[in-house]
Amino acid sequence: MKPVKLFGLLALAIVLATLAANCASSDETPIQSEPDFIGNIAEVHQIGKNGVLGTVLVEAKVTTQDGEYTDKYMVTVTDETLILEQDGKIVDRISFEMLETGQQARIWFSGPVRESYPAQVDAQQIMMVRHKNGDKVGLGQEFSLAVGQGALITGEGLGIKFVEVLEDSRCPKGATCIWEGKVDVIIELTDGGSSYQMTLSQPGLSDQYSSETYKGYKFSFNVNPYPEADKQISPDEYRLSLIISDGGTQQTGTLRGQVTIGPIWPVERPGDNFPIPPEVYEARKVMVYDRHGSKLIKKVDLGHDGSYTVELNPGTYMIDINRLGIDSSSDVPREVEIRSGEVVEVDIDIDTGIR
């Protein structure tokens, strides 16, 4: 089970304490500790006999060094189980009938785990976690999120939340800029009990939707409002417009290569083999633009050995580097064509200009 961050526990403690105050007349006090298991509700079975309200199958994907597997618990919910729903910062008591498949659930056990597959356990407390506002949208449907808001893609078990605006350097309307700038926003994806944060980047001076892919889904997105000269945008004004669609059966191609950087130190001589600090590679990026070199498609990080790899949809791209200081390279910019299922290798030698 992944550790829960301190601030998450504090926030949970606050909302549960509020609920406890509202339920002061009841003998049931919400548990404020870390849950025993967190996963997505896969099945709900109503029983309603002998004090058993029903059972809930909760699943979570777990990644280890040996690979990925699904951890499952068949959770028995009784008339003594405290059933809660969290929607943003609001926590309410709910009935068993309101538990839904696809939603995240936090489970507190009331006794030992009974060995079986899936493992069986009784719940002392179960909390269904809705994405803020409980919005549900379908594939191909356009929707908009404010910072902090989330939505669930109907029938896909995929949740998305607009976390924050990381950077907005887009050239303002009516201004003259030497660079178009960009806006970077962070989204959080919840998929099969696992969460993943992803950065969406959109260039300035364009009203066209940008796109990104994730596990066969295509994300078309646009960030508004667009900056205007001498006008500050507050965080609560931002809206992320999205269309999530099935990427179909189109197979991606692979761009990969090795980046060498030098000289690193002054007065290097042929044959010198100075180790390259990791931060030297971390500061350099491989930039993937559209075929005209005007729209940034992807910014690719380098490994600590200078290697890189990226999956791209079939098409023609312009490859370059981010050119720190007086970095130069005769290998880029370079036009490459990515074909479905094929690998294209582009090695890049960066001259730092240090002498």
Residues 230 and 331 in one domain: no
* Residue 16, pLDDT above cutoff 60: no
Identify the domain boundary among 100, 130, 160. Answer: 130
Return all residues near 86 (Cβ < 8 A) that are at least 6 apart.
Answer: 15, 127, 128, 129, 130
pLDDT recorded at residue 109: 93
Residues 56 and 115 in one domain: yes
Q: Per the domain annotation, does 1 fall within a domain?
A: no
Question: Residue 112 maps to which CATH number?
Answer: 2.40.50
Distance, CA of 89 to CA of 249 (rounded, Å): 39
* Residue 77, pLDDT above cutoff 90: yes
Burial class from Cβ neighbours inside 10 Å (0-12, 13-18, 19+) for residue 277 reads exposed
Closest by CA position to 281, among listed 353, 183, 348, 201:
348
Question: Residue 197 maps to which CATH number?
Answer: 2.60.98
pLDDT recorded at residue 128: 82
Identify the domain boundary among 178, 211, 246. Answer: 246
Using alpha carbons only, how large is the chain's radius of gyration in Å? 25
* Tokens read off for 131: 């994405």
Q: What is the mean pLDDT of the chain?
A: 81
Residues 259 and 236 in one domain: no
C-alpha angle 50/51/57, rounded to 5°? 105
**In one letter, which amino acid is 67?**
G
Residues 116 and 26 in one domain: yes
| Phi and psi, residue 239, nearest 5° | -135, 130
Question: What is the span of the domain harbouring residue 83?
Answer: 6-130
Q: Per the domain annotation, does 314 fall within a domain?
A: yes
What is the domain count for the chain?
A: 3
* Residue 23, pLDDT above cutoff 60: no
pTM (predicted TM-score):
0.40
pLDDT tens-digit series, residues 236-284:
889 898 888 876 545 678 899 999 998 887 765 666 666 788 888 888 9
Question: Residue 319 maps to which CATH number?
Answer: 2.60.40.1120
**Residue predicted with more confidence, 25 or 134:** 134
